[in-house]
């Protein structure tokens, strides 16, 4: 089985949320909610993304910006948002998906993902990353505040 097929299987089997394939081999796997596994890889080993193929459970525009910022050659999303597909294409990064959706929904399923909303008004990957980090910090603080009041 090729590394790309293994990466997809790892994701569909729920063994990881994000898999990086580089030089024909699985170079890194990461598990966690949302875009945090991809952000973790970018922050800890940005060089591993250069010319790599990124496989993720969900690829929205926020994830696409990290993929482009890291210099990956392609991204696969089990689910991919239309804005991510367009962003990747505009930045010379090939895209593939299991399911293409109009937009990435929030966890409740009743609206746009807040991280997608955070990056919706920029096309610059660096700016998008900074907006994404700020939104992640805000959501973490809100979540901690809700736990304290429960």
pTM for the predicted model, two decimal places: 0.93
HSE (side-chain half, CA atoms, 13 Å) at 67: 34
Tell me yes or no: is domain 3-149 CATH 3.40.50.300: no
**Residue 17 burial by CB count (10 A; 0-12/13-18/19+): exposed, middle or buried?**
buried
pLDDT digits (tens, 9 = 90+) for 49-99: 999 999 999 999 999 999 999 999 999 999 999 999 999 999 999 999 999
Which stretches does DSSP call E strand in 24-106?
25-30, 53-59, 74-81, 94-101
pLDDT digits (tens, 9 = 90+) for 104-119: 999 899 999 999 999 9
Domain spans, the chain: 3-149
- Compute the C-alpha angle 78/108/35, nearest 5°: 45
């Amino acid at each position: 089985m090729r590394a790309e097929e293994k990466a997809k299987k790892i994701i569909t089997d729920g063994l990881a949320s994000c898999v990086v394939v580089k030089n024909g081999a699985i170079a890194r796997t990461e598990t966690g909610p949302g875009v945090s596994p991809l952000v973790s890889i970018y922050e800890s080993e940005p060089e591993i993304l250069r010319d790599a193929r990124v496989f993720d459970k969900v690829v929205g525009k926020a994830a696409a910006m990290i993929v482009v910022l890291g210099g990956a050659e392609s991204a696969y999303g089990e689910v991919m948002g239309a804005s991510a597909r367009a962003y990747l294409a505009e930045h010379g990064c090939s895209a593939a998906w299991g399911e293409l959706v109009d937009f990435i929904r929030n966890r409740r399923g009743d609206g746009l993902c807040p991280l997608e909303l955070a990056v919706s008004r920029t096309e610059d990957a660096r700016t998008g990353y900074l907006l994404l980090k700020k939104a992640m910090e805000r959501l973490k603080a809100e979540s901690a505040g809700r736990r304290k009041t429960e």
